[in-house]
Amino acid sequence: MQKRIYLCLAHMSGQEQKFIQEAFDTNWVVPLGPNVNGFEEDLKHFVGENKEVVALSSGTAAIHLALIACGVGVGDEVICQSFTFCASANPVTYVGATPVFIDSEPNSWNMDPTLLEQAIIDRKTKTGKYPKAIIPVALYGMPYDIEAIMAIANKYGIPVIEDAAEGMGSRWKGRVLGTFGEYGVLSFNGNKMITTSGGGALICKDQAAKDKIMWLATQAREAYPYYQHEAIGYNYRLSNICAGIGRGQMTILNEHIAHHKHIAQLYREAFASIEGITFHDAPSPAYDANFWLCTILLDENLRVKNEESAYAEAIHGAVGGAAGVVHAGGTVHTDCEPNRNVEAMRLYLDQAGIESRPLWKPMHKQPVFKNAPAYCNGHAEALFKQGLCLPSGPMVTDEDVNYIITTIKEALDYRA
């Protein structure tokens, strides 16, 4: 039976079972306890900068709580990166606000600082007020230009919520992402740098900020001998069982980061000699990426075998590692989709037992956000049409990478 190579799967350290067993032995099978406290301390030590950390049920919950803590509410606007997963923007709608999407700059693929400032000025002109928050995203683990973003945010007095869900361990000039803004978001989903099976965390600037998030995450109770509530709260704390997994994972986080960077180096060297394929690399040494996923761009003129069959039929189920229930689209095409050669490459790799996936479809091209303001330069859409994510996780071996590279070369059609 052919081995299946996945994009990014969790790898256990061997320590997780010990912490989980302790939770059962001490009867701490609840969303608080020694593992939660210990996991938060481990995270606090890792991110440094005298920050505090709150362990939560997901990275999406972390964004939601950060927005509330920043005072975002009905009728407000929040600046969001367009080129990202929907979890970066969806929480904006939870609080009744409107996302304002910013296109990418071409090097890091993340939020374009020039467009960011233009949007802030334009929104003030159009609405009479500035956006209430800015959410840059470390796409595929690549840092955003946080110095430029923070300078603009500070100029207009707008808090920054760093979405470092894909960028745990990525650094800007040596400093961990998530520690520059008002809040920083981490994710421990099953495909992230480390996992708690599902979960996330919010990096807070001080103890007061942490206390506010903890209060919101535990149903916002008042200090009475009975349940008194004067604000809406949420059930967003991480369980002691999941935190036990996280504590075990923290023992191999640096090992995982090193492995992802090693895999990136193998791809970097291999694609340097393949005309028409570009490996997405860090623009400069300031961008110390964790390379959560390694990505490539296929030149639109590059020919791939079986392109004529690339969009032969509509997809009716989840593709690759996509989780959950999906709606059958019923149509083969949408108004913005990967180029035919990219889809042909994805299908060719899939037949060879290799999971790959298109880049994130920009939020401003998503039907659900069709009415949201967007400030575009065309980069995100162009990248989406040309890009592909390749297996990069801790379970991917050097032999796997060699097989992936060989298969990609085989897929190329050099006929005149």
- pLDDT in the model for residue 184: 98
Of the chain, the percentage scoring pLDDT greater than 90 comes to 86
Residues 215 and 281 in one domain: no
- pLDDT in the model for residue 9: 83
Rounded to 5°, the CA angle 65-69-70 comes to 120
Average pLDDT across the chain, whole number = 94
Q: Which of 226, 252, 278 is the last residue of a domain?
A: 252
Residue 218 banded pLDDT, cuts 50, 70, 90:
very high
pLDDT tens sequence across 359-389: 999 999 999 999 999 999 999 999 999 999 9
CA dist 245 to 14, 21, 56, 239, Å? Answer: 10, 10, 14, 10
Residues 225 and 263 in one domain: no
Residue 185 has pLDDT above 50, yes or no: yes
283: DSSP letter: S
Tell me if 1 is assigned to some domain.
no
Residues 125 and 226 in one domain: yes
Residue 130 has pLDDT above 90, yes or no: yes
Residue 317 has pLDDT above 70, yes or no: no
Q: Which of 252, 272, 292 is the last residue of a domain?
A: 252
Residues 240 and 263 in one domain: no
Record the tokens describing residue 242, joined without a space: 């999941």
Residue 284 buriedness (CB in 10 A; 0-12 / 13-18 / 19+): exposed
Q: How many helices (H) and strands (E) does the chain have?
A: 12, 15
CATH number where 150 lies: 3.40.640.10
Residue 219 has pLDDT above 80, yes or no: yes
The DSSP element (H or E) to which 406 belongs, if any, is helix 398-411
Residue 33 has pLDDT above 90, yes or no: no
How many domains is the chain built from?
A: 2
Tell me if 355 is assigned to some domain.
yes
Residue 320 has pLDDT above 60, yes or no: no
Between CA 43 and CA 39 the distance in angstroms is 6
Region 259-265: mean pLDDT is 98
Between CA 296 and CA 357 the distance in angstroms is 11
CATH number where 358 lies: 3.90.1150.10
Residues 88 and 141 in one domain: yes
Record the tokens describing residue 206, joined without a space: 């001080």
Other CB atoms within a 10 A radius of the CB of residue 203 amount to 30
Residue 415 banded pLDDT, cuts 50, 70, 90:
low
pTM for the model: 0.95
Instruction: Note the Cα 12 to chain centre separation in Å.
Output: 21
Instruction: Note the Cα 64 to chain centre separation in Å.
Output: 15
Residues 85 and 175 in one domain: yes
Residue 110 has pLDDT above 70, yes or no: yes
Tell me if 324 is assigned to some domain.
yes
- pLDDT in the model for residue 325: 75
Q: Which domain holds residue 302?
A: 254-411
Least confident of 65-74, 329-338, 401-410: 329-338
Tell me if 7 is assigned to some domain.
no
- pLDDT in the model for residue 416: 46
Q: Which of 252, 272, 288 is the last residue of a domain?
A: 252
